[in-house]
């Protein structure tokens, strides 16, 4: 009798323990690298999530330094079991991460638990998180570069269309004419602000221009094979010409580029969509001119824009099923509520959001979002991606070339040697 | 009292154990591991297969390795002797002052030394910013053409060396001041009685008596500057990283960017050997020249 009751008590205690485990609040440790205007919006989404999941799931978020610091930390933290439960990741970095066994595969079961599927995403975005037929991350957005422009200055130079877009967006001659008109109007220091001091950044523009000629950086593991070297040279030559003609700012780093544009010293700027919140906020406070953002001009054969994708990844390692379910819920909820993320400028990856009527009225997002059909991503290589070796090689030769110190042909020759030497 | 040699040995051993354990764990073991790693094709984390000397032989025609070696040597040339000379000059000046004035001036020279490298980077990056930097406005006023200091290979190393000297010379000044104070006043009095001028006093008294400190400074600087990384890395962000490579930067690139643990270890071994050889040579040279003077 005594024994039986003891057994009962134990069973009861065990049952209670189990049920309490099932209902215990899960804390999801979150790492991201979103430090700018988009970071503020992500913090808002996290607190909305926590509010909606009170008593069930809490996100414990930390924002780390973007780029090299983030990725070096991740690749050392994961193998020693100190990784977070969820982290933001650039799609371009996924091939290297998979090679280093840093990421846990998002299985078919996971996708169905999240209520998300391949058909919710653009093919290029889905492909960007796929390695050897397996998915390793849940895409949150795509963030291409766009052309920002100052409507007032363009109008003064007589290069603004009636619908408020810049003239000459369909050809090299047309766009150069717009730049020249701006230069002659003498209202600005530079017609175009470009991040010419940062070759990493310029990679996005140069790669877009290569894409406009159907150029490939990597063909079957070989860099700049065939006439791709010539296409890179063409792309660099255009940009170098703008510099030599005084149409583009020289040796300008990232913050200076934004400052040149927002202060009206430059009439146009090529930058990422993540600067949209900066413009929106400044404009709201009455501190900014009338502005707009459009897809990059077609300098060569057809439209093409470089994009990367912010995605959510689960670090490799042991995780309880409860924890994993909580993480999946986080990814699912944020994806489905990513309309707010669009206010950060990014184009939400989750299709139903971008197809919604609300999204279609958002400006300037609606103006540039058709470019998703012309997006190109980094080559799928362990050498590619933010803060990767390809970026460093490019940067080293882009900076002198785009500032008129080096001949494009020479730069391409050197780049090819160094890339194939990696 | 009868000494128990065995017991003394035991006590010594017990007292030394904590140090030896920590030293072995965090210095000797990783160093040995680094040598072993350099013969494998290991990634950053995890094991690799034995590849013999391949990681070393490929360095012979590795362009980035060449750049790193030359840049490191260039940086050492630009920073070690000039840095020590500047510190000596400032120390000589400061030692002529006295009381509060001396403390104040010394504090001013020492101030940059307490700054973390990230702050140093921000300060100078803003000062030298090509579009908005204060220095560029000064250039404009003087009618000099603006210089994109950290974006051209011509100016990069000299500028980083200059900033490094500005940043770190406070510590060397302190060492020199301590050295100057240790020179007995009587020697100077004797020199004055012999009608020695300032230059002669410096050449015949201060310089030789200060030599041990100078040698120490040179050695510290030499070892430190061969391991240069932080400043070069920070100032290269977005610029021309592969043109500005130094040894430790290249190790970082290989290990953390390219995930080549084995190849990174091989470069680390080369740097290790260079530092050891150069330090020993430097020590012998300074000792030899020092004893020759006295």
Please answer yes or no on whether A395 and B240 come within 8 Å at the CB atom: yes
Is position A14 within any domain? no
- Are β-strands A134-135 and A305-308 bridged in parallel, bridged antiparallel, or unpaired? unpaired
* Any B CB within 8 A of A75 CB: yes
Selected residues 238-267 of chain A with any CB under 8 Å from a CB in chain B? 249-254, 256, 259-260
- Chain B CB contacts of A392 under 8 Å are 241-242, 253, 257
Comparing C-alpha atoms, which of A75, A136, A110, A74 is closest to residue A327? A110
Please check whether residue A377 lies inside any domain of the structure. no
Q: Does A176 lie in the same domain as A210?
A: yes
| Chosen from A72, A197, A256 to mutate, greatest number of chain B CBs within 10 A | A197
**A382: three-class secondary structure by DSSP:** coil
Does residue A334 carry a pLDDT above 70?
Answer: yes
Q: Does B151 touch chain A (CB under 8 A)?
A: yes
Peptide bond into A81 cis (omega under 30): no
Q: Quick one: tokens of A132?
A: 């050897």
Q: Is the CB of B148 inside 8 Å of chain A's CB atoms?
A: yes
Based on the domain organization, do A154 and A241 belong to the same domain? yes
pLDDT tens digit sequence for A83-140: 999 999 999 999 989 988 899 999 999 999 999 999 999 888 999 999 999 999 999 9
Q: Tell me how far apart the alpha carbons of residues B126 and B124 are, in angstroms, rounded to a whole number.
A: 5
Could you give phi then psi for residue A375, rounded to 5 degrees? -80, 140
Nearest CB among B132, B152, B242 relative to A396 is that of: B242
Number of A/B CB contacts below 8 angstroms equals 90
Residues A120 and A180 in one domain: no
Q: Do B131 and A260 touch (CB under 8 A)?
A: yes
Same structural domain, A267 and A279: yes
pLDDT at B237 over 50: yes
**Domain for residue A383, yes or no?**
no
Interface test with chain B among A251, A266, A403, A405, by most B beta carbons within 10 Å? A251
Contacts of A284 (CB under 8 A, 6+ apart): none
B291 or A233, which is more confident:
A233
Residue A161 in any domain: the answer is yes
- Shortest distance, CA B114 to any CA of chain A (angstroms): 23
In A392-411, the residues whose Cβ lies within 8 Å of chain B are: 392-393, 395-397, 399-400, 403, 405
Q: Which two tokens stand for residue A13?
A: 């205690």
Pick from A198, A253, A400: CB nearest B129: A253
Q: How much helix, strand and coil, in percent to the nearest 5, is found in chain A?
A: 50, 15, 35
Could A72 and B256 be called an inter-chain contact, meaning their C-beta atoms sit closer than 8 Å?
Answer: yes
Q: Do A400 and B242 touch (CB under 8 A)?
A: no
The Cα of A74 is separated from the nearest Cα of chain B by a number of Å equal to: 11
Would an 8 Å CB–CB cutoff place B200 in contact with chain A? no
Model confidence at A1, in pLDDT bands (50, 70, 90)? very low
Cα separation, B146 vs B136, in Å, equals 6
Chain B residues touching residue A200 (CB < 8 angstroms): 238
Residues A40 and A130 in one domain: yes
Same domain for A271 and A164: yes
Q: Please name the member of B63, B64, B257 whose beta carbon is closest to the beta carbon of A388.
A: B257
More confident residue, B70 or B2: B70
Taking an 8 Å cut-off on Cβ atoms, the answer to whether A252 and B131 are in contact is yes
Element housing A192 (H / E): strand A190-193
Same domain, A161 and A300: yes
Contact A292, A149 (CB under 8 A): yes
- Does residue A229 carry a pLDDT above 80? yes
Report the residue of chain B nearest A382, measured CA to CA.
B258
Nearest residue in chain B measured CA to CA from A414: B63
Check residue A21 and give its pLDDT: 47
pLDDT at A379: 87
Q: How far apart are CA A416 and CA A222, in angstroms?
A: 10
Distance, CA of A419 to CA of B192 (rounded, Å): 67
Whether B131 sits inside 8 A of A405 (CB atoms) is no
pLDDT of A9 reads 57
Q: Which CATH class is domain B42-293?
A: mainly alpha
Domain-located, residue A13: no
Q: List the alpha helices (DSSP H) in A53-137.
A: 68-77, 94-99, 108-114, 123-128
Residue contact B257–A250, C-beta within 8 A: no
The pLDDT mean for chain A works out to 88
The answer as to whether A351 is a domain residue is yes
Residues of chain B in contact with residue A253, where contact means CB-CB under 8 angstroms, are 129-131, 238
Do the domain assignments include residue A7?
no
Domain boundaries, chain B: 42-293
* Percent residues over pLDDT 70 in chain A: 94
B126 has a chain A CB within 8 A of its CB? no
Domain that holds residue A226: 145-307+388-420
Whole-number percent of chain A with pLDDT over 90? 57
Question: Does A50 have pLDDT greater than 80?
Answer: yes
- Please, which pLDDT band fits residue A7 given cuts at 50, 70 and 90? low
Tell me: do A247 and A198 sit in the same domain: yes
Chain A residues in contact with B133 by the CB 8 A cut-off are none
Can you give the pLDDT at residue A11? 55
Give the residue on B whose Cα is nearest the Cα of A102: B45
pLDDT digits (tens, 9 = 90+) for B190-204: 999 998 888 999 999
Judging contacts by C-beta atoms under 8 Å, the chain A residues touching residue B257 are 68, 387-389, 392
- Statement to judge: residues A192 and A98 lie in one domain: no
Task: Work out the average pLDDT over A300-313.
Answer: 93
**Number of domains forming the structure of chain A:** 2
- The Cα-based distances of B63 to A296, A418, B59 in angstroms read 36, 8, 8
Residues 218-257 of B with CB under 8 A from A: 237-243, 253, 256-257
Testing the interface with A: which of B47, B71, B131 to mutate, by most A Cβ within 10 A? B131
Q: Is residue A35 part of a domain?
A: yes
Find the CB nearest B148 among A76, A251, A383.
A251
Query: Mind telling me how many Å the CA of B76 is from chain A's nearest CA?
Result: 23
Same-domain status, A285 and A330: no
Asked if A200 is an interface residue toward chain B (Cβ–Cβ < 8 A), one would say yes
Closest CA relative to residue A313, chosen from A47, A130, A112: A130
Are A74 and A108 part of one and the same domain? yes
B129 touches chain A (CB under 8 A): yes
Give how far A253 is from chain B: nearest CA, Å: 8
Q: How far apart are CA B162 and CA B166, in angstroms?
A: 6
First to last CA, chain B: 45
Give the range among A269-283, B34-48, B277-291 with minimum mean pLDDT: B277-291
Looking at the fold, whether A75 and A179 belong to one and the same domain comes out as: no
């Amino acid at each position: 009798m005594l024994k039986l009751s003891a057994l009962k008590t134990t069973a009861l205690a065990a049952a209670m323990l189990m049920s309490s485990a099932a209902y215990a609040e899960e804390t999801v440790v979150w790492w991201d690298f979103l430090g700018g205007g988009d970071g503020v919006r992500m913090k808002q989404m996290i607190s909305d999530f926590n509010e909606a999941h009170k008593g069930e799931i809490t996100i414990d978020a930390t924002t780390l330094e973007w780029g090299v610091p983030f990725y070096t930390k991740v690749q050392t933290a994961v193998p020693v079991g100190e990784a977070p439960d969820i982290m933001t990741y650039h799609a371009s970095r996924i091939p290297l991460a998979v090679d280093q066994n840093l990421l846990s595969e998002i299985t078919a079961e996971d996708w169905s638990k999240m209520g998300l599927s391949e058909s919710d995403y653009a093919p290029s975005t889905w492909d960007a998180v796929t390695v050897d037929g397996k998915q390793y991350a849940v895409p949150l957005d795509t963030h291409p570069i766009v052309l920002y422009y100052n409507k007032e200055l363009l109008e003064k130079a007589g290069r603004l269309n009636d619908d408020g877009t810049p003239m000459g967006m369909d050809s090299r001659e047309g766009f150069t004419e717009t730049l020249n008109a701006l230069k002659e109007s003498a209202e600005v220091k530079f017609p175009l602000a470009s991040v010419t001091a940062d070759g990493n950044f310029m990679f996005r523009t140069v790669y877009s221009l290569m894409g406009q000629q159907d150029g490939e950086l990597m063909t079957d593991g070989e860099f700049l094979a065939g006439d791709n070297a010539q296409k890179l040279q063409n792309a660099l030559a255009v940009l170098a010409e703008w510099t030599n003609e005084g149409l583009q700012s020289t040796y300008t780093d990232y913050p200076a580029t934004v400052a040149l544009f927002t202060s009206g010293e430059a009439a146009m700027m090529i930058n990422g969509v993540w600067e949209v919140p900066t413009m929106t906020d400044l404009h709201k406070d009455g501190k900014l001119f009338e502005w707009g953002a459009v897809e990059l001009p077609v300098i060569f054969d057809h439209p093409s824009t470089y994009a990367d994708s912010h995605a959510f990844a689960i670090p490799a390692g042991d995780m309880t099923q409860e924890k994993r379910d909580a993480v999946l819920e986080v990814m699912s909820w944020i994806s489905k509520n990513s309309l707010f993320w669009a206010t950060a400028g990014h184009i939400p990856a989750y299709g139903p959001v971008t197809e919604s009527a609300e999204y279609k009225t958002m400006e300037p997002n609606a103006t540039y979002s058709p470019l998703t059909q012309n997006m190109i991503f980094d080559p799928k290589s362990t050498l590619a991606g933010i803060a990767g070796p390809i970026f460093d090689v490019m940067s080293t030769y882009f900076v002198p070339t785009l500032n008129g110190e080096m001949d494009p042909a020479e730069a391409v020759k050197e780049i090819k040697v160094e890339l194939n030497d990696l | 009292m009868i000494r128990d040699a065995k017991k003394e040995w035991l006590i010594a051993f017990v007292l030394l154990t904590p140090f030896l354990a920590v030293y072995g764990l965090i210095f000797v073991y990783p160093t040995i591991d680094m040598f072993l790693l350099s013969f494998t094709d290991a990634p950053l984390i995890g094991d690799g297969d034995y590849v013999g000397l391949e990681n070393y032989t490929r360095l012979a025609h590795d362009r980035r390795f060449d750049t790193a070696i030359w840049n490191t040597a260039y940086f050492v040339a630009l920073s070690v002797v000039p840095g020590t000379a500047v510190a000596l000059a400032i120390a000589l000046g400061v030692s002529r002052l006295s009381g509060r004035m001396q403390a104040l001036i010394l504090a001013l020279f020492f101030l940059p030394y307490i700054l973390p490298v990230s702050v140093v980077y921000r300060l100078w990056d803003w000062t030298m910013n090509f579009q908005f930097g204060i220095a560029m406005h000064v250039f404009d006023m003087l009618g000099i053409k603006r210089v994109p200091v950290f974006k051209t290979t011509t100016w990069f190393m000299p500028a980083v060396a200059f900033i490094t000297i500005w940043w770190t010379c406070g510590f060397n000044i302190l060492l020199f001041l301590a050295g100057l104070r240790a020179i007995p006043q009587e020697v100077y009095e004797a020199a004055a009685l012999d009608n020695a001028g300032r230059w002669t006093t410096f050449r015949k008294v201060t310089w030789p008596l200060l030599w041990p400190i100078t040698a120490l400074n040179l050695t510290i600087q030499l070892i430190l500057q061969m391991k240069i990384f932080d400043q070069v890395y920070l100032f290269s962000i977005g610029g021309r990283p592969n043109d500005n490579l130094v040894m430790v930067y290249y190790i970082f690139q290989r290990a953390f960017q390219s995930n080549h643990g084995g190849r990174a270890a091989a470069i680390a071994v080369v740097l290790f050997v260079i530092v050891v050889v150069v330090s020993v040579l430097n020590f012998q040279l300074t000792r030899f020249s020092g004893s020759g003077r006295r």
